[in-house]
Structure 1
């Protein structure tokens, strides 16, 4: 696989994170601008935000949880030359699950759907790590 093909899902995951930051910022500024939230209410804790703002904050924060394992795996797979077509397909499925999860979080926030999407991403990422580990442990590294 080419480096751009391997890194494309990473770029999309990064842009998803920045997109959620923009959504979060817009929602926060809208609440403050409308006078529904005062700075003193949120100065020491974000939990005082209205639910739609908190949902966006949680969706943004989630991008620094399980995706960290994705961000760790991709360079390892690149360096060891273990990123093939299967790896890239699974990476795209993982990123799609993260995008769907975030979309549900900032729109309907339907918890059962959100949970299924979260678990789908976790399962795909777990499979990616398992395949990578097997390939590393069972085949010699090219020097």
Structure 2
């Protein structure tokens, strides 16, 4: 049976894959001419850079999430680790929605705090297991 931490890790990978699909769709009018407006413009032109920026974000702070989870997979992680992992994933989904759909930097910063604190909690567990 797979370790329970694998599922939130896979959920984050799925979110990242979904963002790749969205970015491909958003770029299709400019790259392949698919879905262009009658005037030739890209209907996704305003949202495409936000999707790209959010996709880049998935390879920054989340790196620390995945490393902590991999370390905790080897230790006797408890339910708290699993809860923190799911909080992280939920926070990443919210962060993506805010960044892509609103462009509200202040709100995005507040939502990012959810991810930040969850990963710090995971790393606290890693550090405590190392002692």
Q: Is the structural similarity TM-score above 0.5?
A: yes
Q: Is 1:86 aligned to 2:86, yes or no?
A: no
Offset from partner CA, 1:5-50 (integer Å, 9 cap, x none): 221100100000000111111001134422336xxxxxxxxxxx94
Alignment match, 2:10: 11
Pairwise CA distance, 1:114: 0.9
Offset from partner CA, 1:78-118 (integer Å, 9 cap, x none): 1122x210000000001100111011111112211111111
Q: Is 1:69 aligned to 2:64, yes or no?
A: yes
Gaps of 5+ in 1: 38-48, 138-143
Pairwise CA distance, 1:134: 1.4
Alignment match, 2:118: 124
Pairwise CA distance, 1:135: 2.3
Q: Which has the higher helix share?
A: 1
Distance in 2 of aligned mates of 1:84 and 1:23: 35
Q: Is the Cα–Cα contact under 8 Å of residues 98 and 104 in structure 2 kept in the other structure?
A: yes
CA 1:108/1:31 → structure 2, altered by over 3 Å: closer, same or farther?
A: farther
Give the secondary-structure state (helix, strand or coil) at the position aligned to 2:60: coil
Alignment match, 2:29: 30
Q: TM-score, normalised by structure 1?
A: 0.79
Gaps of 5+ in 2: none
Distance in 2 of aligned mates of 1:54 and 1:73: 30
The ranges of structure 1 where at least 4 consecutive aligned residues each deviate by more than 6 angstroms after the TM superposition are none
Give the secondary-structure state (helix, strand or coil) at the position aligned to 1:5: coil
